[in-house]
Amino acid sequence: KSFLNHTVYLSCYFPNSQKTDIKDLRIFWQKGTAEVVHEVYYGQEKHDNLSPKYVNRTKMDMDKWTLQLLNAGIVDEGQYTCIIQRKDKGSPKVIHTSECLLHVIANYSQPEIAWLHTGELKANEYLNLSCSSSGGYPEPKQMMWLISPRNETHTGHMNVSQDAVTKLYNVSSKLNIPVPTNIPINISCFLHLGEQLGSLVSVPLTI
């Protein structure tokens, strides 16, 4: 996993137990089955075959057998394969391959609650609120509302839109409940990003 616009470190996991000299090896990094990300040709970095979007964005650490990928974007997500070949009589022979899967994460803004109506609140009317959060990745799982001290939860429809260029998501949800009449309530909005990424919560709104 890597944060958006950060440097990613992809490892070949090559033990090099035979202590083979780098000048006897060809090292390829590719994305999917077709895109060449990086190539080291018998000790020299070679740029002829690189996919254009990886030019000047990669660097190989030969001591750690690790590839640095600069300025990770959403489009860089996917499977990467490291292939190592050794000089042999005739054609080079593959002595090692490894794969890693890259997921890119972009932080969502703190969810924010907004009023959807004007004028004062009256009994027997409905409270209309929206909650929104923007600029995140991957797509969130759910947006929900918590009303305390009643300990009531509402999971309305979550509107999701994705920017065509940046691939980042904006999300929003609406809450429509009767105006509280007897005691003050606190309304909070939660954005669930999945098990590993946790949740974000808005500043509570007191009514």
Question: Coil, strand, or helix at residue 18?
Answer: coil
We report the CATH number of the domain holding residue 121 as: 2.60.40.10
pTM for this model (two decimals):
0.81
- pLDDT at residue 114, rounded to an integer: 94
pLDDT one-digit tens code per residue, 74-92: 999 999 999 999 988 778 8
Share of the chain above pLDDT 70, in %: 100
pLDDT band at 142 (very low <50, low <70, confident <90, very high): very high
Say yes or no to pLDDT of 117 above 90: no
Q: What is the pLDDT of residues 42-69, one digit of tens each?
A: 888 888 889 999 999 999 998 899 999 9
- Co-location of 100 and 120 in the same domain: no
Residues forming a β-bridge with 8: 69
- What three-state secondary structure class fits 75? helix
Domain count, the chain: 2
How far, in Å, CA of 41 to CA of 49, rounded?
11
> What are 148-157's pLDDT values in tens digits?
888 889 997 8
Same domain? For 95 and 124 the reply is no
Q: Which domain holds residue 114?
A: 109-206
Q: Provide the token pair at 7.
A: 């440097």
Determine the pLDDT at residue 91: 85
**Terminal alpha carbon distance of the chain:** 40
In the prediction, which pLDDT does 127 show? 86
Shared domain check, 86 and 114: no
